[in-house]
Amino acid sequence: MSQKEYAAYSRVSSAYITELKQKGKLIWRPDPKTGKPKIDADATDIILGKKAAPDFSAKLNKIADSQVDTAITEANANTQFLIFKAQNEKLKYETESGKYLLKSDVEKADFEKARITRDKILAVADRNCDILAIKDNPHEIKIYLREELTRAMNEVINELELLASDDE
């Protein structure tokens, strides 16, 4: 039955029924025809102490269990939401405080390092092509190229160290 019908049945005001609803003391069941929730008058009367019916004890236990399960489920959902919200705030704080890096920043820094390395190594050929053209001893060329490549790699290391110290 509806709240209005239950108020008339119980001979109380609609406001009192609304108050009972807010306190969670009304027992609701879906209407078999419409599926809409309706007040289960017998079960509600038992909860409110208006009736004592031992034959309803099993039904009352089932109703109470289902309401407790619903309350626990809602409490769990609220708890899970609060945990998620707290974890999200913690992640945001740690990101802003520098504990985590943005993927795009790391990719940009890696690209810059690779570009420096590539430029230094390729510059070896431009700087030394005239000198290598004059040399005719393969052993001298090998030693000279090794020295130049070592010099280029040291320049890369120095520039990367400078780049790293600028980031700090």
Q: Report the pLDDT value the prediction gives residue 85, as an integer from 0 to 100.
A: 83
Q: Report the pLDDT value the prediction gives residue 74, as an integer from 0 to 100.
A: 67
Contact 126, 151 (CB under 8 A): no
Q: Report the pLDDT value the prediction gives residue 55, as an integer from 0 to 100.
A: 54
The number of C-alpha atoms within 13 Å of 114 and in the hemisphere containing its C-beta is: 6
Tokens 């790293």 — which residue?
164
Contact 128, 144 (CB under 8 A): yes
One-character DSSP codes across 109-129: HHHHHHHHHHHHHHHHHHHHH
The number of residues making up the chain comes to: 168
Q: Report the pLDDT value the prediction gives residue 139, as an integer from 0 to 100.
A: 93
Q: Report the pLDDT value the prediction gives residue 68, as an integer from 0 to 100.
A: 56
Q: 148 is written with which tokens? A: 């130049």
Q: How many whole angstroms separate alpha carbon 117 and alpha carbon 53?
A: 87
Q: How many whole angstroms separate alpha carbon 77 and alpha carbon 71?
A: 10
H/E stretch holding 29 reads strand 28-30
Contacts of 92 (CB under 8 A, 6+ apart): none
Q: Does this model's pTM top 0.85?
A: no
Q: Report the pLDDT value the prediction gives residue 67, as an integer from 0 to 100.
A: 60
Q: 141 is written with which tokens? A: 């060329």
Domain ranges (residues) in the chain? 3-52, 103-167
Spell out the per-residue pLDDT of the chain, length 168, in tens: 888 988 898 888 889 888 888 888 888 888 888 888 888 887 778 777 775 544 555 665 666 666 655 555 666 777 777 888 888 888 888 878 878 777 888 899 899 999 999 998 889 988 888 888 898 999 999 999 999 999 999 999 998 888 878 766
Q: How many whole angstroms separate alpha carbon 162 and alpha carbon 147?
A: 23
